[in-house]
Structure 1
C-alpha cells in the first residue's frame, strides 16, 4: 500500500510554537576563559545597536581588563542593584530593573555565575530563564566546562572541579549557539601576556588548568557539543518541515539486530564503523509477528548497550519498510546488517533482506557483515514477508495444484475420494492467510470438484442423492477446517504478539533495575510508556498536601519528548486521578475532554505517582496487548519507584548515622584535645603570675617551655581540622615540581629527630626516579607519618624510613616496632576521627593525621596503605606511600 504524503512532526511544530512565545537565547560558547567570548558578544551588540536595535548591557564581568571595559563602548548599561548582606552593600544584576526596562536584547555575561546572596535566584542562568519567559532576548557567555554533564570529565582531565555549573537543558533550549574558538597555543600566549589574568594568577594557571593538553581536550569537548547542537537543529528542522532523511550533515550508524547468533558480530562491526566515523550508534531490532519464533535477541541488544549504543525495538510485518522508516526518523546514514545464508530459492526470488535494502535503501550506505567461518546457520532466513495480494494469488494456485493431482488420479480413484484432495488447499490457505482466505479456497475448491469430477461433468449440476450428500459433507468439512485452522493461525499470531510483549516487559524490568537514580528511573518509565502508547508520555509524582488541602498535588518529573507538558485542563484530570486513584482524562469517563490521559501507579502502601499519555484527537483508550502492556508497566513502575524511595530513605538514614558518629567523634576530640593543652597552658601562666619572682630561672624556663609545647600542640590540632576541611571540600591544588625523594625524606627525618630527640633510620635507596609532586604537601605527609610512628613505638622503639622503586612507581615506607594495628582496624585507620584500638586502650590523638595524609597523597596522584603486623612477634606497623615515577 502506498504511503501518504509526509507530514510535519507535531512535536517539532509544537516546539517551534513554544519558542515563539519565549525570548530568544544566544550563547557564546568557549572552551576556556580568555578565548574572547565577551569581546565577540560586545562587538556583535555594538553592530546591532548601530543598526537600530534596542541593546542593553545587563551585566558584563570585566575582571579589571581595560580592553573589555573599552569594548563596551557606547552600549547603554543597566545600573546594578544594591543588596545588603551581613552588614555590607553588594552590587548585583538588577533583574527587576531589566524586566521593567524590557530591552530588545539584554547582555548577561557568565551564565554559570553564582548570584549575590539575597538575590531572587541563586544562579544567573535562572535569571536568564525568567527573562526569557517575559519575552526578553538574552545574549550570554559560558565555557564548556560549566555544563553539568561534563563537570566530572573536566575534573578528571584538569584536576580542577568546577563548582559553578549550568544544566545541559539550558544549552539545549538555546535558540543559537556560537562557538568562539582559538588554538591552545594562542590562548596560552594571551595568558603569558597578562591579557586574561594578572601575572601571579597567570603563572599558577599555566602550571595547572591552562596546560596545552588540558586546553586541547576542552576544545574538543566544545567542538563536539556544538556539533551535537547543530545536528539537533538539523534534525528538528527536518521533522518540522516533513523532510525525509537522511541528510548527510553528520554520520549516524544503525546496526540491524536480528534473532540469530550472528547479531553480536553485527553489533561489534557497527561499533567499529561508528568509532571510525566518530558517529553515534543505534541498534534496531524489528519483531515480525508473522514470522516463526527465533532465538532471543536480548544478548545482542545488551551487548549494544554495553558498547554505548541506543537500542530500539519495534514490531512490523514489512521488515525493510520498518528499517527504512526508523533510519529516516533518526537521520541515519550507514546501515550495518549481517549477510546471512538464505536458501537458494529466496536468493533467486530476491526475497532476502540484503537484496531488498539494496533496492530500496538508495539514500544509505549499506555495510554487509559476512558470517564467521563455521558459524551455524540461522534459525530464520532474511525473507521479506509476503504482501497482502500474495494470499489471494496463492488461493487459485493451490486449487490448481489440487486439480492437477485429481486429474492425474482420475479414473483410478472414485469421484468422491477426489474431493478429499481439495481439503489440502483449504487448510493451507486458512493456516497461512486466515479464515477468510480459507473460505474462499473452500468455495473455489467445491466449484472445481463439482465442475471437473462430479457427474454430469463440466457442469455445475449434481446428478444423484449420493453426490448431494457428498457435496454437503464436503462443504461442512471445508468450512469447519477453514474456521478452525484460521482461528488457530490467529491464536499463533496472538501468542507471538504476547511473547513480544513479554520480552519487552522483561527488557523494561532490566532497565528499571539498571536505573542509576530516581530521575533515571522516571525517565525510563516515561520512555517505555511513550513507546507503548505511540505518543508523548510523562511521569508525575505527588507532593504531600499543604495544610488545609485534602489531596496531594501532582508535579511533572519526566517527559518524552522533553518538552511534552500537560496543560492546565489536563492537570485538573491529573489531580482527580491522584485524589481518587483512578484513571482520568481522554478516553475515560472522567474529564474526557482533556488532551491527556492519566493512569495511577498503585502499590500496597498507596499511590506512587501518575503516568500521563497524550492521546490524539478522536483517540480513545488503548486496547488489546497495548493496554495489557501498559498495565504491566504501571505495576512494575510503581514497585520500582517504591523501591527507589526506600533506598533513598535508607541512604538518608545511613548518612544521618554517619553524621552523628562524626559529630560525636568531633565533640569527643574537642573535649580532649582542646581541654588538655589549654589546662596546661593556663596552669603554667597562673604559676608564673602568682609565684614568678619566687621561682628559680630553671623552673620558669620549664613552665614556659611546657606552655610553648602545648600551644604548638593546639596549633597543630587546629591545623589538622582546617586541613581535613580543605581536603573534604576539594580545595587542595598541588603545585607540582620535580622532587628529590631522598632529600625530602632526609629533611623530614632531621626535623623529627630535632623535635623528638630520637634516632630515625633512613635507607634512601638507589637510582630513584624524581617524580613531580608538591614539596610542601609531601613534607606534611612525611611529618604526620613520622609523628605517628614515634608516638606509637614508645620511647625505646625504633623507627625507619625506606625508599625503593616498584615498577613505574616510587614507594616511601615509614616503619615502627610498636604494638601494631588490629587487623579489623586496618581498613579504617585513614577515616577522619578514627583512632585504632590498642590491646588496653584507644590510641591517643585526634584521629586526623592519617586522614590528612590520605587526602594529600590522593591529591598528588598517589596511594597510601597500612600494613600490620610487620614483625615475627606480631608487632610493628608500616605506612606505605606510592607515587608515580618521573
Structure 2
C-alpha cells in the first residue's frame, strides 16, 4: 500500500472540527425494534450524563416504546396545515437552539411536509451534525437508494422515500437490529406493529415470509459491507492490506475435460473447510470448439447447483487475473487443474499453475492432478477443415511470393518482406494460429530462397541477412498471433452479443407482461421469430397431462411424450440430441424455479438436424427469464386471489354488521308513522297526515334502495369477489352517482369540479359508483340544510382522487382511523345519525379490491369532513386496445 492511501485513511478517521457523529439503527422492515433499541441506547447515554433530547420519535402507539420515550426530554413538534390536514414535523430550529449533546431523530428517510426547510429528514440530520450535535437515527434497508430497484423486484412495491447511500456510509456506527420473519409476523398479528386492520393489509401487501427474508438478507449484506469497509479502512491506517478473515475458495476452470471434476473437488474442499467458494473462468479470447464450450457451461451449471458463485472475467493473462480477483475477494485458497501436457509448457513452465505458484504472495495454491483421458476422436470432416486452413497458408505464401517477385524491381529488399507479412496477416484473420505460423515459416523460406543473395539458394552469405530473416520470422509470428487472437475475440464477441441481444429482447417483452397470458404471448412472439425451429411450450393441465401453453399441442410419438415426461419429472434436458431418450424429433428443456417445473420448452429443427451446442446454450439462457416471469405471474395470481378473498370476507362481514343498524332505522320511522295514523286516524289534520305519509314513503324508498344495494353486493360477492373491470371515464361515474342521488342532494348546494381531460380508470364501474354514492349520501345526511357539498376530481401521485367535502359536524381527528372499523360506532362518525347506506367499511372494501385507498381530512373551510377515494391509474390504453 502506498503512503498516499494510508494518509487518506488517517485523515478520514479524524473527526471533522465541530461536527457531530451519526449512529444508525438499521432494520429489515418496520416492527423489528429499531426505535426501541435507539431509545434504550439513549437511556444508557443519559445515565452517563449525556444531555439527550428526542427530536422526533414515532412510537406508532406501541406501549413499550411510549414508556421508554416518556423518560426522555422531548422537543415539541411543529404543526402546519396543508390542504386542510394538520401535519407534524420535527422542530429543527428548536433543536439547534437547544443544542443538546445527543438528538434522537426517527425515520431518517422521511419526507418533510411541504414548505419545510429541507425536503428530506436526512438533510435535517446533516444540519444537526454540522452544528456539532450527535444524532441517533433509524432507517429500514428498503429506503436505500441503491437498493430501490431490487426492493421493487422483491416486494413489488416502489419505495418512494429514499436516501443516498453515502449518508449511511458516513455513519460513525451502524447497528443492525434483526428479528426473524416469523417473530415479526407474529408481532404484526398481535397488533404490536400496526392496528389489526392495517396489520392484515400489511401482511397481504408487503409483510410476507418471502419478502421479509429477502429484506433481512439485504440488511445483513448492507451491515456486512459496512463492517468490511471499516475493517479495510482500519488496516489502511496502518499501511497494510486487510487479511482474509474467513477466506474464500476460488476454483479456476477452463473448458477442458477436467472441468466438472475440478468443480466437485472444490465443493468438497469448501465444505470441509467451511468456506464460501466461487467458480472463476478467465476468457482470454482463445478459440474453443463446441465441446469445450459445452463442458464449460456444464461446469458452471454444476457449480450453481452445488451452491457456488459463478464469475466470468475477461483478460489476456489468466494467472495474473486470478490473483487480482483473489485479492479483491480476499480469497485464501485458489484451486486449479494441472495444465495440459504440452511441450512448450513443459519446457518454459508456462502453465497457469506454475505462474500462480511463481507470482502469488500468501495464497494457498492447490493443483488437482489430471486423470488419464483417452484421445478424442477426430472426424474426417474436422481433418478436412483443418487441412483447408493449411492449404490457404500455402496458397497465400505462393501468391505473396509471386507478387513480391513482380515488384522486386521497384522496391527495396526490406520492403519486400511487408508483402509476406500481409499474407501472414490474411491467413491469421481467415483461420487460426497454427496456419498463420505455418504461413510465417513458408514466407521465411520463400523470402530467403528468392530474395536473399545468393538467390535460389537457402544459404546466407552476409551476416546482416541472417539478422533480417530472424527479425522477419519473429515479426511474422507475432503479427500472426495477434491477428489470430483478434479474430478469436471478435468471434467470441459476436456470439456474446447475439446471445445478449436475444436475452435483452425477451427481457424487455417479459418486463411489461403483467399476467400469465401476457408472459406467454411475449414468449410466443419472441420464439416465433426463429424460422429454422419449431418451438412449443407445454404445461401440466388439471388432470396432470401435458398440454400446449402456446399454440397447438404438437403431434408427439410415444417416445417423444416419454422424453417430455422425463424432462418434467427430473428437471433435466431430454429428447433429440441429449443423452436421455434421444430417438425423437423434439429436444425438451424444463423451466424450473426453486427446482419446481413450471413449463416445458420443446424445440425441433425444421431440417431435422441436431441442435448445436451454441443454440442449446442460448435456449437455456432464454429459458431462465421466461421461467422467472411465469413464476412471477403465478405468484401475482395467487396474491390477487388471496387479496380478493380477504376483501370479500371483509365486505361480507361489513354487510352483515351494518344490516342490524341500517335496516332498523327506516323500519322504526315507518312503523312510527303507521302507528300514528292507525291510532289517531281522522283526528290528524290533513297537512300532518300528508307529512306522515310522505315521511313513510321516503323511508320506504330509502329502505328499498338499501336492500337493492345489499342484494347487488351479495351477488357480486357470491363465491368470490369478481371484478368485471373495464375502461371507464371518471366523469361518467360522477354523473351517474349524482343522478341516483338527485332527491337526496336537492336540499344542498352541490358543486362539482371535474376537469375535461382526465385519464381513464380500469375498474368495476358499478362498485366504484356505489362507493361514491355511499360517500355522497353520508355527506348529505350529515350536512345542514342549504349546506355546501363539493365533489372534486383530480390526479395526484399517479392516482385519481374523488374528494367529497361537506359542512357537517366533522369527524374528530382521533377517530378518523377508526371509522372504517366495521364494529366501531361514533355519535358523530360514520355510524351516527341516520346511518350511512352501506357504510364506510364497505366503501373501503370496494376501493381496496381495486388496490385503492380512502383518506379522511377536514371539510370545506376547515369544517365538516372530506372523504377522498383514491384509485391507481394504470398505463392508459392505446387506440388499438380500446377498439378491440
Shorter-normalised TM-score: what interval? Answer: 0.3 to 0.5
Relative CO higher for 1 or 2, CA cutoff 8 Å, sep ≥ 6? 2
TM-score, normalised via structure 1 length: 0.41
TM-score, normalised via structure 2 length: 0.41
